[in-house]
Amino acid sequence: MRKSVSILAAGAVVAAMAGFGGTAMARHSSPGGEFNLQVGGYELITNSDEQSRVDLKGRGTILSDPTGALTGGALTISAVNGAIPEASPVHSVCTGTATGQIKSGANDIYTISFDYTDGANSGQCLSQTLALTCTRAVFPPGLASDLAAGSYGCVVSAVSGVSASNETVDASSVAVHFGSHAAVQ
């Protein structure tokens, strides 16, 4: 009986040490660092004198630091011109990079300047700067000062810096979601 109690006690000590060691080794960093991006909506574009609606759907990633600096973004967007009769090109796959800056505002409203540079800059793909107006969810609340933590739901409030000289973005109804995920180190 004494031997089995000793074995159980030793097993409990080893399990407790492994549990505490595991907790110490699995130190959680800020949930920020990398955002998953989702883009969806449409833009009304004038190319020379021809107007069209271009539907956009895309995914990518972008890095953030606690001050809200966005760097190293990679984004792939499908751009479809739904004009009838068909306007050329009908479909483009846009792959580019993104940078930007998150800024906190009043009443839990955030703004993000988002610069997208398209690799090809042809077809329906346009390099442009977006001004985003966003709401944010962050948990636990203690991470609120870390702008890289949480997730942001945004809508485009302005478009500027369109790269093609003969094209303008007349209107934009695009939603962008930045969702972070916890990193375990």
Q: What is the pLDDT of residues 101-144, one digit of tens each?
A: 999 988 889 999 999 998 876 667 888 999 999 999 988 888 88
Q: Are residues 21 and 98 in the same domain?
A: no
Q: Are residues 21 and 36 in the same domain?
A: no
Query: What mean pLDDT, rounded, does the chain reach?
Result: 77
Q: Are residues 10 and 93 in the same domain?
A: no
CATH number at residue 64: 2.40.160
DSSP 95-109: EEEEEEEEEE-GGG-
- What does the block give as tokens for 97? 């990079």
Quick check: is 92 in a domain?
yes
Quick check: is 139 in a domain?
yes
Q: Are residues 87 and 118 in the same domain?
A: yes
Q: Are residues 35 and 19 in the same domain?
A: no
Q: Are residues 83 and 147 in the same domain?
A: yes
CA 170, chain centre distance (Å):
24
Residues 35 and 73: their CA atoms lie apart, in Å, by 9
Q: Are residues 113 and 176 in the same domain?
A: yes
Q: Are residues 86 and 148 in the same domain?
A: yes
Q: Dump pLDDT digits (tens) for 134-168.
A: 999 988 888 889 999 889 999 999 998 786 667 88
Q: Are residues 8 and 84 in the same domain?
A: no
Quick check: is 124 in a domain?
yes
Quick check: is 185 in a domain?
no
Domain hosting 108: range is 31-180
Tally the C-alpha atoms within 13 A of residue 144's C-alpha that lie toward its C-beta: 8
Considering its fold, how many domains does the chain have in total? 2
Q: Are residues 4 and 89 in the same domain?
A: no
